[in-house]
């Protein structure tokens, strides 16, 4: 068992889905490719599902045309993330 926050940060995180952070002042969830694949497993082809989710605005388009990922540096590591706005996860009222 870890005795402090510093101890927990030194351990490798396995099987992570992604990260929560702010993009342009709004909360988003950044999914790693492996994490999004896990979430979508069994629902259909990955690329087809991603394209449909981008089309519906559930996954944001990347900063350049035809990109569906954003580059984000987290803890010194450059990652490519599929970005889902927090608002896309809320139920319609």
What does pTM read for this prediction? 0.76
pLDDT for 92 equals: 59
pLDDT tens-digit map of 9-64:
444 445 578 888 898 899 999 999 999 999 899 999 999 999 999 999 899 998 88
Distances (CA, A) of 27 to 48, 88, 89: 25, 11, 11
For the chain, give every domain's residue range: 15-88
Whether residue 80 contacts residue 70, with contact meaning beta carbons closer than 8 Å, is answered with yes
Residues 36, 23: Cα–Cα separation, whole Å: 19
Residues 37, 90: Cα–Cα separation, whole Å: 21
């Amino acid at each position: 068992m870890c005795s402090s926050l510093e101890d927990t940060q030194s351990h490798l995180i396995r099987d992570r889905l992604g990260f929560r952070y702010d993009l342009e002042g709004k909360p988003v969830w950044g999914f790693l490719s492996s994490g999004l694949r896990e979430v979508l497993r069994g629902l259909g082809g990955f690329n087809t599902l991603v394209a449909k989710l981008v089309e519906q605005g559930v996954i944001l388009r990347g900063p350049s045309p035809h990109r569906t990922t954003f580059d984000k540096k987290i803890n010194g590591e450059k990652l490519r993330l599929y970005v889902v706005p927090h608002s896309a996860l809320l139920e319609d009222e």
